[in-house]
Amino acid sequence: MTGGKNNQPIVVAQIMGKWVGGGVEAVIMNYYRHIDRSKIQFDFICDEDSTNIPYEEIEKLGGHVILCPPYQKLFKYMKFLEKLFREKKYRIVHSNINTLSVFPLRAAKKAGVKVRIAHSHSTSNPKEWKKNLLKNTLRPFSKKYATDYFACGELAGRYLFGNKTFDSGKVKIVHNAIDVEKFKFDPEARKKLRIEIGIKDNDFVIGHIGRFVEQKNHRFLIDVFAEVKKEKPNAKLVLVGQGPLREEIEDKVKKLHLESDVFFLGQRSNANKLFSVFDVFCLPSLYEGLPVVGVEAQANGVPVLASNCVTGEIDMGGPINYIEIGSVEKWNGALLSTSGDRLSRIADSYDAGKASGMLQEQYIKQCEAVL
């Protein structure tokens, strides 16, 4: 079996939740761009309050975007999905919304979908108690309606599905693959973009790419940068992304009188080129599943400083250093001692060109198993 019935591609319903231009969306799109679309096609099921959906690219590649009620309107959400799954007769529903996957997968089971994948893309942080209340309530049901379990890495797999399930070998690791060629160091882009942003050739640029949410720990990064600036006057901080905490972080920067040294670039379509602008990339997250930006940075070769809350699974053998979260002094010391020398490293399992073939085989194998 090489595809769907009558040699038509198997259409996978990708449950995306709120598309806001984050890492999970980037990962699924990387697989979509590289998969053999004559054998596998994607329908992207997104909440109607999503932003930054790449409609044009998806349609050009032969896929479809289907908007559904937001999951907060649970009754409408479930009713819509069950009806959709019955009408489209999907053979695979692949849910990428972590603990919330219980809802679309329940609808998929009621609609008779044979292959139902729960995919863990993240973990949690004990400090986010309100968010964890919902997560911990739903987590015991993570396996209830799923036929298959995927995770971006070991930590994410153990978090959502439990140690017993993970140790039994039932969790399939599907790495956060990237288009390696797009992230290679580009000296011309470095020069051009520095001019565009307003950064000098000899400035020491600290970079971060991520949504302005608690998880990404921007407040701490600003505190660290304030200390670095005292000893390294030519230091600059470039922040890429959007999110609910952006205004608060901008206010903090102003209060510390750092507004001429901190650049807020917003959501950027050329984020892959921005790694070449950085002299060091910071990832001070409070928690992560397997952060794709950490993989992208190592493909570029820029030195990475990551918090000790970030999984060691992103270590490709390049210049990456794990530092205790919460210690401004240790982060300051690490940044001041960073050489800026680049060394590009990437494992085959993170190369979307190669990894997409493995995912494709997995989809076909799952369909064959339920015939």
Residue 341 corresponds to which tokens in the numbers above?
């020398």
Q: Which fold has domain 180-347?
A: Rossmann fold (3.40.50)
Element (DSSP H or E) covering residue 148:
strand 148-151
pLDDT at site 122: 74
Q: Is the pLDDT of residue 229 over 70?
A: yes
Residue 366 corresponds to which tokens in the numbers above?
């799952």
Residue 130 corresponds to which tokens in the numbers above?
């309100």
Q: What is the mean pLDDT of residues 286-298?
A: 86
**Residues 77/103, Cβ–Cβ less than 8 Å:** yes
Phi first, then psi: give them for residue 235, nearest 5 degrees.
Answer: -75, 140
The average confidence (pLDDT) of the chain is 91
Whole-angstrom distance, CA of residue 46 vs CA of residue 66 = 6
Q: What is the mean pLDDT of residues 137-145?
A: 82
Residue 320 corresponds to which tokens in the numbers above?
């990456």
Q: Is the pLDDT of residue 344 over 90?
A: no
pLDDT in tens, 163-180: 999 999 999 999 888 888
pLDDT in tens, 276-285: 999 999 999 9
Q: Which residue has the higher pLDDT, 286 or 132?
A: 286
For residue 187, name the pLDDT band (cuts at 50, 70, 90).
very high
Strand order in the sheet with 92-95: 64-68, 40-47, 10-17, 92-95, 115-120, 148-151, 171-173
Q: Indicate the class that CATH gives domain 5-177+351-369.
A: alpha beta
Q: What is the mean pLDDT of residues 187-211?
A: 97
Domains in the chain: boundaries: 5-177+351-369, 180-347
Residue with tokens 């940068």: 225
* The two domains 5-177+351-369 and 180-347 share their CATH topology (first three levels equal): yes
Q: Which of 247, 199, 252 is nearest to 222 (CA)?
A: 252
pTM over 0.85: no
Whole-angstrom distance, CA of residue 292 vs CA of residue 31 = 13
